[in-house]
A = this chain, B = another copy of it.
């Protein structure tokens, strides 16, 4: 049986990567979303093991020492990370996995699991991204500038990705990501080639 593939979907905040992932998971079977682990407290309505695996600092640090994360980061004094084991178990069973994480996290995953497939979700333009952030009406002008600067810094890492998808129209972006997932099922590596050749030779 062939192993599953790991798709990492990331991009600046405000590009709609979460919505795209939700659509993919709704429209495709045999693909799972990896749930992150965090040490921060659950917010109202958040469910353990659905939104996050909630844990404490000691347990998180122990898992770091055991090399138990595909990626992790510390933000405002709390840890966030992708536990390695669940993802690897799914892949071994031939199930594809989606990770929805930020750019720093995605680059860490590529290092710890080079076969992962990195998809960058781009905004239609910086102007449009500004509109989306401003539209929420909750941010100061200074905060908006800082967020756009951060987004630009993230976009500069796009060269380390395998694919980019512009989220201009949501359904088109979803279709592109679905096409990437389908195409990657057909993509050949050396191992696959050997497997195919032997299969047809036995059959001859």
Contact = CB atoms under 8 A, between A and B. Distances in A.
B180 A186 contact: yes
Nearest to A178: B179
A107 to B, nearest CB: 14
Contacts of A141: none
Contact of A158 (B125, B183, B187, B188): B188
A47 interface: no
Q: Is the interface of A mostly helix, strand, loop or mixed?
A: helix
Contacts of A156: 197
A176 interface: yes
A182 B188 contact: no
Interface in A146-204: 148-149, 152, 155-156, 158-159, 161-165, 175-176, 178-180, 182-188, 190, 192-194, 196-197, 200-201, 203-204
Contact of A200 (B152, B159, B201): B152
Given A159-B188, A179-B183, A182-B183, 15 more contacts: A119-B186, A120-B188, A125-B200, A126-B204, A152-B200, A155-B196, A156-B197, A161-B188, A163-B188, A164-B192, A176-B186, A179-B182, A180-B182, A180-B183, A180-B186
Given A200-B152, A203-B126, A164 B188 contact: yes
